Structure 1
Amino acid sequence: MTTILYSATMSLDGFIAGPGGDMSWLAPHLGPNPVADDLLPRVGALLVGARTFYGDDPNRGTDREGAFSGGWEGPQVVLTHRPPATAVPGVTVATDLDSALAAARAAAGDRYVNVLGADVAAQCLAAGQLDEVLVFVAPVLLGDGVRLFHRPGGADVRLEQIHAATTPVPTLWYRVRR
C-alpha cells in the first residue's frame, strides 16, 4: 500500500521558503543526512505543487533544478489549476487532488508518494489522505515566508512519532493519527 509522505526542510521558526518563495537560505543546510539518504530510494513518485515545481523564486523550481537537490529521477505528478501548454517529459499534470493522488499512487506502487509543497500537503491533510510528515529542522530563523503548514481555522491534527534524530540536523518523522 502506498504511503503519502510530506517531507520538507524547515527553518526553526516554521518556514519552508522565505519571502517570495526564496530558497537560497537552504543551500548552507544541505548535505549528507542518513534519514534523507535512506528515504530517497524508497520514494516511488512525487506529488508536487505548481509553485514548487515551477518556482515562485525566479531562479528555482523542481522543473529546473530537480527535486532533492537534483537527486530525484522518477515520475512526478504536478497539481495545478493552469496546466502547461506543452507536455513535460516524465511529468503528469493533474487539475484536482483526487486525480493527482490516483496518478501518484499508481506511479509509486508500494513505495512512498512524496509530497513537495505546503499547499498540496495541506490539501492532502484536509482530505484525510496524508499519512506521514518528515521535517528536517535547519538552524536558521527566516522570520517570514511559506509556512510548513498553513491551516487557518483547522482542527488539531494528532501525530504519532515514528523517528527522531539530532544529527546532522534535528529530524522529526510522524504518522498522522486517524
Structure 2
Amino acid sequence: MAKLLYSATMSLDGFIAGPGGDMSWLTEHIGPNPAVDRLIGEIGAILCGKRSYGGDDPHRGDPHREGKAFGGGWEGPQFVLTHHVPETPDPAVTFVGDLDSAVTAAKAAAGGKYVNIIGADVARQCLAAGLLDEIFVSIAPVLLGDGVRLFDHPGGTNVKLERLDLAEAPRATTLRLRVG
C-alpha cells in the first residue's frame, strides 16, 4: 500500500519558499544529494496544491528542467488538489477537488510506492487528517527570515516524529522522519 511522504528543502530558519512563494533562493542549494536521488526512485505519484503546481520554479530559465518534477529527475502521475480547475488543464496532470479523493487517486496511481506531497498546505491537511506517514526534509545552509514555513499551525501543536535517516550532502543535510 502506498504511503504519503512530504518532501521539501527548507532554510535553516524553517522556510520552504521565500516571501511571495519565491523559490529562487533554492537554486544554489540544488546539487548532488544521494538521499534525494534514492527518494526519487521511491516515488510513484506526486500530490501537490495549486500554489505549488503553478508557483515559482527554482529551475526557471532552464528549458530542460523548468516545470518538471525534481527538475526533470522524476516522471509519473501527478495530482493537483484544487477547488479551481484551470480552464485549459494540463493533460499530464489530474486535478482533484477534495483531499480524500486526491489521496485515494494518488495512492492508486503510485503502485505501492510513495505519494510525494509537495506544498505546505497539502502536507498540513494530510497531517491533520492523520494521513501523512513520513517527512523528508533537506535543510539548506541559508536563513530566509520570511516566507512559507515547512509546517505552520497557529496556536501550536505537538506532532511526534521518529528519525529514520540523517544524511549529509555538499549543499544540504537531509532528515527522514516517521510521523507519529
User: Fold-level match, TM-score > 0.5?
Assistant: yes
2: distance between equivalents of 1:70 and 1:84? Answer: 23
Q: Match of 1:55, as an amino acid?
A: G
Aligned match for 1:108, one of 94, 110, 115: 110
2: distance between equivalents of 1:84 and 1:26? Answer: 27
Structure 2 unaligned runs (5+)?
61-65
Are the counterparts in 1 of residues 137 and 176 from structure 2 also a CA contact under 8 Å? yes
| Equivalent residues, number | 173
Question: Secondary structure of 2:85's partner?
Answer: coil
Q: Give the deviation of 1:166 after TM superposition.
A: 2.3
Structure 1 unaligned runs (5+)?
none
Are the counterparts in 1 of residues 6 and 134 from structure 2 also a CA contact under 8 Å? yes
Q: Give the deviation of 1:84 after TM superposition.
A: 1.0
Aligned match for 1:89, one of 91, 104, 110: 91
Question: Secondary structure of 2:177's partner?
Answer: strand
Q: In structure 2, what is the equivalent of residue 6 of structure 1?
A: 6
Taking the TM superposition and a 5 Å limit, the aligned residue runs for 1:66-145 are 66-145=68-147
**Off by >6 Å, runs of 4+ in structure 1:** none
Residue 178 (structure 2) pairs with residue 175 (structure 1) = yes
Q: Match of 1:14, as an amino acid?
A: G
2: distance between equivalents of 1:32 and 1:164? Answer: 16
Question: Secondary structure of 2:106's partner?
Answer: helix
Question: Secondary structure of 1:69's partner?
Answer: helix
Are the counterparts in 2 of residues 15 and 146 from structure 1 also a CA contact under 8 Å? yes
Normalised TM-score (structure 2):
0.92
Q: In structure 2, what is the equivalent of residue 161 of structure 1?
A: 163
2: distance between equivalents of 1:100 and 1:78? Answer: 8
Q: Match of 2:149, as an amino acid?
A: R
Are the counterparts in 1 of residues 23 and 56 from structure 2 also a CA contact under 8 Å? no
Q: Match of 1:75, as an amino acid?
A: P
Are the counterparts in 2 of residues 47 and 115 from structure 1 also a CA contact under 8 Å? yes
- C-alpha RMSD over aligned residues: 1.5
2: distance between equivalents of 1:172 and 1:56? Answer: 24
Normalised TM-score (structure 1):
0.93
Q: Match of 2:116, as an amino acid?
A: N
